Amino acid sequence: MELGVTPTAISHQIRLLERYCGRALFRRRPRPLALTDAGARLFPAIRSGFEAFAAAIAVVKQDGLREPLRVTTTNAFASRWLVPRLPAWANLHPEAPLEVIGTDTVLDLRAGDSDIAIRYATGRTVPTDGIAEELLSDTFWPICSPRVLSSGRLKPVDLKKHVLVHAYWSPSDRNPPTWQKWLTVACRKWRHVPDFKDMQHLSFREELHAIEAVIAGQGIGVFSDVLVGQELAAGTLVKAFDLSLAGYCFYVVRRRGHPREKVIQAFSTWARSLM
């Protein structure tokens, strides 16, 4: 039925309304069912009320469909992976605009701070604040401008002549892929690896700034191949050494039972199809 309830439930509600009004609203015999005088006076107001209610719901629903889908992720991932791919989403789903919230703060999906999140989970930790689907994993490499390699392939000992560019990692991140870790691994593979304290360093709080410094030729950084993928493909950046560190995993996370479940699933499917 249109109301989504059984005839028995409707009969029960009618009896409650008649009890409240103190009057019979329907003549039940003989058939067909007909309104009493009291029911006939009440019917236009009830019909108008239902029509106004339905119209208001339709407006609210349509406004909800036009609302941008809010996607939250880290500043670096938003800038270097998601934003360049937004035209592809717009071409595929012009009816579903996006609002990208780039922040390194973890927004609360359950509280409605965002509709969907792309989380970067370190270690083996899978996000638990919603339905999490794996998007992609990354690997960290020593990355530099081709100008740094103009004199030929670097040897580990050559690092002493260059600036090591660092991006900030939170103290809560266990065993992050930093220069210190890379140098430790490099010592097991090569001889004559300089000590960390004997080299020049340039540090940035924002990972995006560290990447820009390396693009500008200001040093060598250890970066995710996901975040500098376009530059590696174009040759704007190159791998300085054939030695990498394992990275982590990006997950698409959505809240169970979200009222815009259909478009959220479409976004998740689209993002994972790009891999």
Contact 93, 262 (CB under 8 A): no
Query: What's the CATH fold of domain 69-136+250-273?
Result: D-Maltodextrin-Binding Protein; domain 2 (3.40.190)
Alpha-carbon dihedral sign for residues 27, 32, 33, 36 = negative
Q: What is the pLDDT of residues 76-97, one digit of tens each?
A: 999 999 999 999 999 999 999 9
Domain 7-66 CATH class label: mainly alpha
Q: What is the pLDDT of residues 221-245, one digit of tens each?
A: 999 999 999 999 999 999 999 999 9
Contact 97, 68 (CB under 8 A): yes
pLDDT score for 240: 95
CA distance linking residue 204 with residue 142, whole number of Å: 16
pLDDT score for 162: 94
| CB count in 10 Å sphere of residue 127 | 18
pTM for the whole structure: 0.76
Fold match between domain 69-136+250-273 and domain 137-247: yes
pLDDT score for 13: 79
CA distance linking residue 75 with residue 204, whole number of Å: 14
Question: DSSP letter string over 193-240?
Answer: PPPGGGSEEEEESSHHHHHHHHHTTS-EEEEETTTTHHHHHHTSSEES
Structural domain spans, the chain: 7-66, 69-136+250-273, 137-247
pLDDT score for 3: 57
Specify the CATH architecture of the domain 137-247: 3-Layer(aba) Sandwich (3.40)
Could you say which residues of the chain have pLDDT below 50? 1
pLDDT score for 46: 77
Helix (H, G, I), strand (E, B) or coil at 192: coil
pLDDT score for 55: 58
**Is the peptide bond preceding residue 32 cis, with omega within 30 degrees of 0?**
yes
